[in-house]
Structure 1
Amino acid sequence: MEFKKPHVGYCFPNNNASCYKLIYETDVYVYLYIFCILLILVTIFGNLLVIISISHFVQRHTPTNFLLLSLAVADFLVGLFVMPITLILQIETCWYFGVIYCYVFVALGNLLSVAIIAHVVLISIDRYIAVCNPFFYSSKITLNVTKLSIVVMWLYSLVFTFLFLYFSYIETGVCEQFCILYGYEYSGFVVLMFTFIIPYSLMICSYARIFIVAKRHSKAIKCLIEKTQSVESSNSNTPKASETKQNALIWVSEVNFGVNPIIYAFFYPWFRKALKIILRFKIFSPASSFIY
């Protein structure tokens, strides 16, 4: 199928003073909006399933899962309030939502973006402590400590967003097409430091350390398996489990969360089991939170 080139029109066809925009064929808009709707639905309902599967089942109430739960809430809010406007703006290239919602959209988008980055960093630190110092993790990283960390993380995101917006200004454009946030001098550098360089540096360091420790554990288990097999082979000729399987279990248990909680959760058997229970509406049965 060959589409015609877009032609130039107005954001508001009945107002020649409005901004210009590119207008595509109807079929192009249909395909784009179908894709956007599917993406939004996957984001909303996928993260909603993660939220339900962790909050409903008691055995899933662990420090790491609570961090994942909070991250899923942030992604859920993005899919509900931010993503639809962002995608429409990308397709239409015009701002149709007024001045007031421009401020709300910018504030909410920045708040949730900072919160998601903070969650990913905290999750990487959580996994780092769990892998590199498991005895400290099991004794000190409790549910109350995790909940407090989550509250501090959201407060940090709120304060950072407030300060950033306070030292910035929003422009909607003379023809009501734009909703753009402008920062003052050096504000872009500060945002880059706190939302990209520092967070991702911490994550890279955590991942690198986790990889080194996991590799060390893998070698230790390899030596243990070889010793066990050498001892048992003198008493029995029964074949034993392979080293490859052991290594796979180590990587699955020690590798950090993915950035997207949906991608992470689908790799875990407990989430797939919870998903079946949720989709079969068994969570409405008595004591369903103790099914595990």
Structure 2
Amino acid sequence: MMEEAELCFPQLLNVSCKKRTYAHSEKMFIYIVLSSMSLLTASLNLLVIISISHFRQLHTPTNLLLLSLAVSDFLVGLFVTPFHILLIEPCWFLGDLVCVMYYFLSFITVYASVLNMVLISVDRYVAICDPLHYPTRITQNRVQICVVLFWVYSVFYSFMLLHDNLIQPGRYNSCYGECVINVVGAVGIVLVFIIPVSTIIILYVRVFVVAVSQARAMRSHIAAVTLQRSVTVTVKKSEMKAARNLGVVVAVFLMCYCLYFCVTVSGSDHTIGSPTEVFSSFLIFLNSCLNPVIYAFLYPWFRKSVKLIVTLEILQPNSCMINVL
């Protein structure tokens, strides 16, 4: 009877998984942290989505990239984090198909976030290093096409990685009551981490070098500028401020994801519910939660938009035309 009580499915003595045991205090701490983070992540990113979608002044190529990033972060807070809480339970009772679909959605959101960061880095690179051609090269339509293509690629790539698992859910489970998948790790690390992160770092190093040189040039000629020159300087300053703000977003992303992938490939215990797995997953959830917090501190338009949303002023006629910049 004691052995049956420790099984996920006591009626299946020979094929049922044994229940994992956790300290009650540790389990409650994980539940509280992840539940709070899930609610906060979904709520804040929903505010970003409503802000950029509703107010026409915010319909810019750069903000469209932030919108795409907010969508992926919103999905993390709404679906990925809550289902991860269920994975920490002693047994998985939702079935093999739900298990695979959870990982499928997780992979899509992670890959979409990485690709969005690459697009943001390219956007800032062109804006700072080739500002004269920025309006013609980075257009609204081109950014929309790139965002759609990258989301489609994220779905396709996730499907390819989980193809065997989707065709036959649960094929890698060793017993009833667990949620296990199998993917080709080396390919994923190269395509989803090494190449994109290297691209992001190279582009932002170049942006930083050019921004510093432009700042020095503006300081040396600031006393002799004409009115037309002053407008040009103002535009350059605004572009560099945008690059700095987005640089903070990219830096936080790199810190969270680099630690996540380092922990993933470290060879340590990465089974569901292990301290290593909980910590690495927490980094991904933390990044999705921090992005809108960064916007709140760095972008005045976001703070003003949130105020209009919370006070329901966006429900008034022509509220989309309100000046939020």
Same fold (TM over 0.5): yes
- Indicate conservation of the 8 Å contact 1:11/1:18, yes or no: yes
Matched, 1:12 2:8: yes
- Tell me by how many angstroms 1:130 deviates: 1.0
Map Cα deviations across residues 126-149 of structure 1 (whole Å, 9 max, x no partner): 111111111111122111111111
User: Which position in structure 2 is the counterpart of 1:214?
Assistant: 211
SS at match of 2:175: coil
Deviations 1:54-83 (A, max 9, x none): 000000000010111011111111211111
CA distance in 2, matches of 1:202, 1:98: 39
Quote how far apart the aligned CAs of 1:21 are.
0.8
The gaps in structure 2 that reach 5 residues or longer are 226-235, 254-287
Percentage of pairs with the same residue: 36
Alignment coverage as a number of residue pairs: 261
Where 2:123 maps in the other structure, the secondary structure is: helix
Quickly say closer, same or farther: Cα 1:86–1:195, change in 2 above 3 A: same
RMSD between aligned alpha carbons? 2.5
Deviations 1:160-185 (A, max 9, x none): 112222266754634333222213xx
CA contact (8 A) 2:172 2:182 kept: no
Provide the C-alpha distance between the structure 1 equivalents of 2:316 and 2:239, rounded to a whole number of angstroms. 36
1:182 aligns with 2:182: yes
State how far apart, in whole Å, the 1-side matches of 2:204 and 2:239 are: 15
Offset at residue 52 of structure 1 (A): 0.5
Corresponding residue of 1:125: 122
Tell me the amino acid that sits aligned with residue 224 of structure 1: H
Question: Does the CA contact (< 8 Å) of 2:128 and 2:239 recur in 1?
Answer: no
Aligned mates of 1:20, 1:174 — CA distance in 2: 14
Change (3 A) 1:11 1:202: farther
Please report how far the alpha carbon of residue 107 of structure 1 lies from its aligned counterpart in structure 2 after TM superposition.
Answer: 1.4
Separation in 1, partners of 2:153, 2:204:
23
Deviation at 1:250, TM superposition (A): 7.2
TM-score, length basis structure 1 = 0.81
Pick the aligned partner of 1:272 from 294, 297, 303.
303
**Which consecutive residues of structure 1, in runs of 5 or more, have no partner in the other structure?**
1-8, 230-246
> Equivalents in 1 of 2:18, 2:68: separation in Å?
40
What is the Cα deviation at residue 111 of structure 1? 1.5
Give the residue type in structure 2 aligned to 1:33: Y
SS in 2 for 1:23: coil
Q: 1:29 to 1:182 in 2, by over 3 A?
A: closer
* Contact 2:8/2:176, CA 8 A, preserved across alignment: no
Report SS of the residue matched to 1:176: coil
Compute the displacement of 1:33 (Å).
2.0
Corresponding residue number in structure 2 for 1:40: 38
Look up the match of 2:73: 75
Letter in 2 for 1:152: L
| C-alpha distance 167-124 of structure 1, shift in aligned 2 (>3 A) | farther
Residue 224 of structure 1 pairs with residue 221 of structure 2: yes
Flag the 1:111–1:11 CA change in 2: closer, same or farther, 3 A: farther
Q: Is the 8 A contact 2:19 2:90 kept in 1?
A: no
Q: What TM-score does the superposition give when structure 2 sets the normalisation length? A: 0.73
**What secondary structure sits across from 1:20 in the alignment?**
coil
CA apart distance, 1:39: 0.3
Cα distance change on mapping 1:250 and 1:288 into 2, 3 Å: closer
Greater strand proportion: 1
Cα distance change, pair 212–11 in 1 and its aligned pair in 2 (3 A): farther
Counterpart of 1:12, as a letter, is C
Cα distance change on mapping 1:273 and 1:58 into 2, 3 Å:
same
Which has the larger helix fraction? 2
Does the 8 Å contact 2:9/2:177 carry over to 1? no
What's 1:104 paired with?
101
Cα pair 2:128 2:240 within 8 Å, conserved: no
Decide whether aligned partners of structure 1 residues 251 and 133 sit closer, same or farther in structure 2, where only a CA change above 3 A counts: closer
Alignment partners' CA distance in 1, 2:9 and 2:179: 19
* 1:254 aligned residue: 243
Give the match's secondary structure for 1:180. Answer: coil
What secondary structure, in the 3-state scheme, does the structure 2 residue paired with 1:71 have? helix
Question: Highest Rg: 1 or 2?
Answer: 1
Cross-structure match for 1:148: 145
Contact 2:51 / 2:306 at 8 angstroms: preserved in 1?
Answer: yes
Change (3 A) 1:248 1:93: farther
Cα distance in 1 for partners of 2:113, 2:149 equals 13
